[in-house]
Amino acid sequence: MHISQQLAAQAVGQVLDGRNLSTVLEDIFRRHASITPQQRAVAQDLSYGTVRFYGRLQAVLDLLLQKPLTDEYIHHLLLVALYQLSFDRAASHTVVNQAVLAATKTKKSWAKGLVNAVLRNFLRQQPELESHLEGNEEALYSYPQWWINKLRQQYPQSWQAMLEAGNEHPPMTLRVNRRHGDADSYLQELHGAGLAATLLGDDAVVLERPTPVGRIPGFGEGRSSVQDYGAQFAALALDAQDGMRVLDACCAPGGKTGHVLELADVAMTAMDNDEQRLQRVQENLDRLQLKAKLVVGDAATPDTWWDGVPYDRILADVPCTASGIVRRHVDIKWLRREQDISSFTQQQAVILQGLWRLLAKGGKLLYVTCSVFHEENQQQIDQFLHAHADAKLLPYRHAQLETTQGQLYPGKEHDGFFYALLQKV
């Protein structure tokens, strides 16, 4: 276990220095290729868990220390071990002993004694420490205070539930490919393979436990894809019909691209500004046995890649704070700054303006974010409608969302998304 604790401590430290967690773990595992699959899995779980509850863990550690630690590795190792003692099922004495062993990495004589004392004090004083956290919202919810304040102001009736949803483990949801059968039949096939799952909507099934895709029946043949239920609403809302010319802007990794093509025979252009991410789109399309024209380009400057022929449908899945998907990307809470919202809204406005010129009269553009902040969502759309007399906001209809506003709150079944369907009149 101490190897996994060491690697997790390294990962947590790099995230708090501003790096993306998934990228950090890829780099760490590449450098430690000799570790076992179990050590790798434990290190990943500890990294995600510690970052997820960093606000609470740091507040507890502050109470346990007489003065701030100058050794960053020991600091982050203690956070990892506190996560284990607070949330993990491992035996307390094992966690402490292994953390002490992991502290030897520093080769500093004081490290082992400090780690042992801090963790044993935590075990002895846990109820008292918990009482000291009352009133500390960053510790209670494990979000930055500015984030908590913003949600409380924008969602006075549901802000607490939204924060709590962001700290849950996300479900593993599959989108069933309609070209290969219906969800009911696929559900029975999953059950036959020993995979417990439940039906969600018309085309989605939720696995009871996350499962490697290699074990999922028909996945390699394109009969299903991993996609959050909320993200599956996009292709349905776009309402693409056979023969239409469709653009999926900012398309990587291609989940929505594939879904649109599963629902209709369209001339699809999938565009992204990252050539490497487009390769992943191609891999997904190949698995689904679907075809699209892939284009490297910037949605904000379409004149550099557009062929001049208008599109009947445009899916604008714009860059955003990703504040609605923090349970999948736990580092976002600590990497984002409040001022980032303004940068994203400016970028979104430029993209929306640029793509609108590409839409045929009578065509529809679906504006999508995976954010819950109003500035990126309804406020962005309101400003666009005010500036464009040829734009009309259409009602967004779904069994769970009968509104034109289109804000999906993060919850048990799906992440947080915003949808606005615009028509050029």
In a domain, residue 160? The reply is: no
The pLDDT tens digits for 199-237 are 998 899 999 999 999 999 999 999 999 999 999 999 999
Q: Can you name the residues that pair with 79 across neighbouring β-strands?
A: none
What pLDDT is stored for residue 1 in this prediction?
Answer: 83
Q: How far apart are CA 388 and CA 423, in angstroms?
A: 11
- Residues 238-259 have a mean pLDDT of 96
Per-residue H/E/C for the chain: CHHHHHHHHHHHHHHHCCCCHHHHHHHHHHHCCCCCHHHHHHHHHHHHHHHHCHHHHHHHHHHHCCCCCCCHHHHHHHHHHHHHHHHCCCCHHHHHHHHHHHHHHHCCHHHHHHHHHHHHHHHHHHHHHHHHCCCCHHHHHCCCHHHHHHHHHHCCCCHHHHHHHHCCCCCEEEEECHHHCCHHHHHHHHHHCCCCEEEECCCEEEECCCCCHHHCCCCCCCCEEECCCCCCHHHHHHCCCCCCEEEEECCCCCHHHHHHHHHCCCEEEEEECCHHHHHHHHHHHHHHCCCCEEEECCCCCHHHCCCCCCEEEEEEECCCCCCCCCCCCCCHHHHCCCCHHHHHHHHHHHHHHHHHCCEEEEEEEEEEECCCCHHHCHHHHHHHHHHCCCEEEECEEECCEEECCCEECCCCCCCCEEEEEEEEC
Q: What count of Cα atoms within 13 Å lies in the side-chain half-sphere of residue 75?
A: 14
What pLDDT is stored for residue 345 in this prediction?
Answer: 98
Per the confidence metrics, is the pTM higher than 0.75?
Answer: yes
Q: Annotated catalytic, 370?
A: yes
- Residues 77-96 have a mean pLDDT of 94
- Residues 31-42 have a mean pLDDT of 94
Alpha carbon distance, N-terminus to C-terminus of the chain:
62
* Arithmetic mean of pLDDT over the chain: 94
**How are beta strands 245-249 and 359-369 bridged, if at all?**
unpaired
In a domain, residue 371? The reply is: yes
Q: Can you name the residues that pair with 313 across neighbouring β-strands?
A: 246, 364
In a domain, residue 180? The reply is: yes
**How are beta strands 293-296 and 267-272 bridged, if at all?**
parallel
Instruction: List Cβ neighbours of 96 (8 Å cut-off, separation of 6 or more).
Output: 81, 85, 116, 119, 120, 123
Instruction: State both tokens at 381.
Output: 């759309």
Q: How far apart are CA 342 and CA 143, in angstroms?
A: 19
Q: How far apart are CA 372 and CA 369, in angstroms?
A: 8
Q: Considering 140, 158, 193, which residue would you say is the last residue of a domain?
A: 140
Total structural domains in the chain?
3
Residues 331 and 219 in one domain: no
**Tokens 């028909």 appear where?**
218
What pLDDT is stored for residue 109 in this prediction?
Answer: 84
Q: Considering 88, 120, 140, which residue would you say is the last residue of a domain?
A: 140
Residues 80 and 212 in one domain: no
Residues 84 and 198 in one domain: no
What pLDDT is stored for residue 398 in this prediction?
Answer: 60
- Residues 81-103 have a mean pLDDT of 93
The pLDDT tens digits for 302-352 are 999 999 999 999 999 999 999 999 999 999 999 999 999 999 999 999 999
Q: How far apart are CA 123 and CA 365, in angstroms?
A: 55
| Res. 34 pLDDT band, cuts 50 70 90 | very high
Residues 357 and 244 in one domain: yes
Q: Is pLDDT above 60 for 55?
A: yes
Residues 181 and 103 in one domain: no
Q: What is the CATH number of the domain that holds 366?
A: 3.40.50.150
What pLDDT is stored for residue 404 in this prediction?
Answer: 44
Q: Is pLDDT above 90 for 89?
A: no
What pLDDT is stored for residue 359 in this prediction?
Answer: 98
Q: Is 36 exposed, middle or buried (0-12, 13-18, 19+ CB in 10 A)?
A: exposed
Q: Which residues of 111-143 are buried (b: 16+ CB within 10 A; e: fewer)?
A: bbebbeebbeebeeeeeebeeeeeeebbbbbbb
Residues 80 and 194 in one domain: no
What pLDDT is stored for residue 133 in this prediction?
Answer: 93
- Which of 65-69, 143-147, 274-278 is most confident? 143-147
Residues 126 and 253 in one domain: no
Q: What is the CATH number of the domain that holds 193?
A: 3.30.70.1170
Active-site option among 250, 251, 320, 370: 370
In a domain, residue 158? The reply is: no
Residues 365 and 238 in one domain: yes
In a domain, residue 149? The reply is: no
Of residues 158 and 399, the one with the higher pLDDT is 158
- Residues 343-363 have a mean pLDDT of 97
In a domain, residue 166? The reply is: no
Residues 22 and 112 in one domain: yes
Residues 217 and 257 in one domain: no
| Res. 397 pLDDT band, cuts 50 70 90 | low
Q: What is the CATH number of the domain that holds 53?
A: 1.10.940.10
Q: In which domain, by residue range, is 9 found?
A: 2-140
What pLDDT is stored for residue 405 in this prediction?
Answer: 62
- Residues 12-17 have a mean pLDDT of 96
Q: Above pLDDT 90, what percent of the chain?
A: 92
Residues 216 and 246 in one domain: no
In a domain, residue 376? The reply is: yes
Residues 222 and 239 in one domain: no
